[in-house]
Amino acid sequence: MSKQFVENITNMEDDFAQWYTDVVRKAKLVDYSSVRGSMIIRPYGYQIWENIKIELDKRIKETGHENVYMPLFIPESLLQKEKDHIEGFAPEVAWVTHGGEEELQERLCVRPTSEVLFGEHYKNIIHSYRDLPKLYNQWSNVVRWEKTTRPFLRTLEFLWQEGHTCHETEEEAIEETEKMLDVYSKICEEFLAIPVIKGKKTDQEKFAGATFTYTVESLMHDGKALQTATSHFLGDGFAKAFGIEFLDRNGELQNVQQTSWGFTTRVIGAMIMVHGDNRGLVLPPKVAPTQVMILPIAQHKEGVLDHAYSIKNRLSSIARVGIDSSDKQPGWKFNEYEMLGVPLRLEVGPRDIEKEQVVLVRRDTGDKFTVSLEELETKIEETLSQIQANLYKKAKERMTEKTTSVTNLEDFQNVLQEGNQLIKAMWCGNSACENIIKEKTGATSRCIPFNQESISAQCVCCNHQVQHMVYWAKAY
């Protein structure tokens, strides 16, 4: 197809950041506004979020959780009740100081997360072990006053779900923390075709106010890592700060054990950077707003359009199907739907009608092949599954390729100087070493993976006895 039709996006090898910006704009996912650091999520981007939301909401409900809605504003005094929490969040919240014409007696912050609101509510509604567990979730917008922002990856405001649960025992709460991390890792791998590493954050990287934080980390095309979702075991820190107490089975007063966990619009950024290529977006079929785009060829010829629409109707029960019968040139259309990442293109023209066939073109591989009308449904379903599986496989292979084990800081630095990637290295457990590594290599600890390996007996930084194998990387 002729060069003139190709949308002008930067090659990812030349400038990955610019490639990303080009894709989110040219694929019409977002637009900017005069609100610094905030994004407009356009219809195509929002449909992707809706598809993710429907799937995740189903899985959250299947695991026994109920949705609620908490206020947007948090009085300053309420936010200050948990010491670590306020220390972590104070530098990045937006403050409301005036309502209408009047100055408020107490500032309200726009929620950066809702632990304290749930804490206050739980104190009101939990009294006995019979009231437990409480398994609540909320879909909402939150605000964090970020200096540098990028669409989906880091914005002043983002959309997410935040789960907040209360339990009788520590064991049960930790089990919940693990269960929800599993829900996240599965939706990443099964639905978004993003391979993840499951593990625990180091103390330095954990959530402000948590006992510990579990995370799913993924690797982008450029070798940088991205924290895709987190699940926190809060212990009884918030429960003590907010006085969430219950009479246990022995009639004794105890604090509840809590968890919280969140999944955000950030994952759309991850999906773009894991699957995208130099032709634009590449969407896994399960999340794609349009799975099959029908392009009638020589559509002015008699019968072509009718035939194309009848195929659309025929396929509408097995896939999300679109059709472009505008008078734009075929070359323009090919490129447009490649830019939008539509998994499968279906071309049908007079010759295909004659031969009782259609032409299918895969977005992920570019493979082009004909399919007889007779086996159309089977082949479409089969091909969409293959695309979904192939995207996951390719991303998994890339992650394996871009992971290197190192045993000393010099190798660590050298490997990263050749190009960003995941580093596996042993760590003594001391945060001083984390800081040195960050300073010397730019990489941060991504997680202590659940799947531990022994690479060497000594910390990659200080040579002292090791505690854990850790994944390190430069990160978004």
CA distance from start to end of the chain: 36
- Tell me if 157 contacts a copy of itself by CB under 8 A: yes
Q: Is 451 exposed, middle or buried (0-12, 13-18, 19+ CB in 10 A)?
A: exposed
Q: Check whether the bond before 133 is cis (ω within 30° of 0).
A: yes
Q: Does residue 469 touch Zn ion according to CB under 5 A? A: no
Shortest Å distance, C-beta 75 to a copy of itself: 6
Nearer to a copy of itself, 17 or 125 (CB): 125
CB proximity list for 92: less than 8 A, separation 6 or greater: 112, 144, 145, 146
Closest approach, Cβ 96 to a copy of itself, in A, equals 5
Choose among Zn ion, a copy of itself, none what residue 152 binds, the Cβ cut-off being 5 to 8 Å by kind: none
Closer to a copy of itself by Cβ: residue 51 or 218: 51
Q: Is 332 in the site for a copy of itself (CB under 8 A)?
A: no
Q: From the list Zn ion, a copy of itself, none, which binds 143 (C-beta under 5 to 8 Å, kind-based)? A: a copy of itself
Joined tokens for residue 313: 């109707």
Out of 75, 330, 350, 429, the only residue in the binding site for a copy of itself (CB under 8 A) is 75
Amino acid at 350: P
Cβ neighbours around 281 below 10 Å, total: 25
User: Do the beta carbons of residue 426 and residue 460 sit within 8 Å?
Assistant: yes
Q: CB neighbours of 302 closer than 8 A, spacing ≥ 6?
A: none
Checking DSSP bridges between strand 257-264 and strand 321-323, what pairing results, if any?
Answer: unpaired
When asked if residue 98 is in the footprint of a copy of itself (CB under 8 A), the reply is: yes
Structure tokens, 62: 């299947």
Task: Give the shortest CB-462-to-Zn ion separation in angstroms.
Answer: 3
- CB burial class (10 A; 0-12, 13-18, 19+) of residue 366? exposed
If we measure between CA atoms, which residue out of 433, 411, 436, 434 comes closest to residue 421? Answer: 411
Q: Among residues 459, 466, 470, 473, which is the contact residue for Zn ion, using CB under 5 A?
A: 459
Using CB under 5 A as the binding rule, whether residue 470 contacts Zn ion is answered as: no
Q: What are the Cα distances from residue 102, in Å, to 96, 106, 117, 362?
A: 11, 12, 24, 59
- Which of 52, 117, 361, 459 binds a copy of itself (CB under 8 A)? It is 117
Say whether residue 40 binds a copy of itself (CB under 8 A).
yes
Question: Least CB distance from residue 202 to a copy of itself, whole Å?
Answer: 25
H helix intervals, 158-214: 170-186
Residues 227 and 266: their CA atoms lie apart, in Å, by: 9
**Which of 47-55, 168-176, 269-277, 402-410 is the region at the interface with a copy of itself (rule: CB under 8 A)?**
47-55
- The stretch among 28-36, 179-187, 271-279, 355-363 that binds a copy of itself (CB under 8 A) is 28-36
Q: What are phi and psi of 223, to 5 degrees?
A: 85, 0
For the CB of residue 91, give the shortest distance to a copy of itself in the complex, in Å. Answer: 5
How many residues bind Zn ion, per CB under 5 A? 6
Under rule CB under 5 A, residue 437 binds Zn ion: no
373-385 exposure pattern, b = at least 16 Cβ within 10 A, e = fewer:
beebeebbeebbe
User: Which residue of 59, 63, 84, 94 would you call a contact of a copy of itself, by CB under 8 A?
Assistant: 94
Please name the residues in contact with 131: beta carbons below 8 A apart, sequence gap of 6 or more: 125, 246
Give the integer Cα–Cα distance in Å for 100 and 438.
46
Which residue from 116, 461, 466, 469 is in contact with Zn ion, where contact means CB under 5 A? 461
The span of 59-67, 81-89, 319-327, 453-461 binding Zn ion (CB under 5 A) equals 453-461
Which residue number, 299 or 444, has a Cβ lying nearer to Zn ion? 444
Q: Among the candidate windows 23-31, 69-77, 123-131, 459-467, which touches Zn ion by CB under 5 A?
A: 459-467
| 428 interacts with, out of Zn ion, a copy of itself, none, CB within 5 to 8 A per kind | Zn ion
Task: Compute the least distance from the CB of residue 392 to a copy of itself, in Å.
Answer: 28
Q: Per rule CB under 8 A, is residue 121 in the interface with a copy of itself?
A: yes
Question: 255: which strand partners?
Answer: 245
How big is the chain, counted in residues? 476
Contact 165, 433 (CB under 8 A): no
Residue (94 or 318) nearer to a copy of itself, CB:
94
Among 10, 63, 140, 431, binds a copy of itself (CB under 8 A): 140
Gyration radius of the chain over CA positions: 25
Binding site for Zn ion (CB under 5 A): 428, 430, 433, 459, 461-462
Binding site for a copy of itself (CB under 8 A): 31, 33-35, 38-43, 46-47, 49-50, 66-75, 78, 90-101, 107-108, 110, 117, 120-121, 124-125, 136, 140-141, 143, 145, 156-157, 159
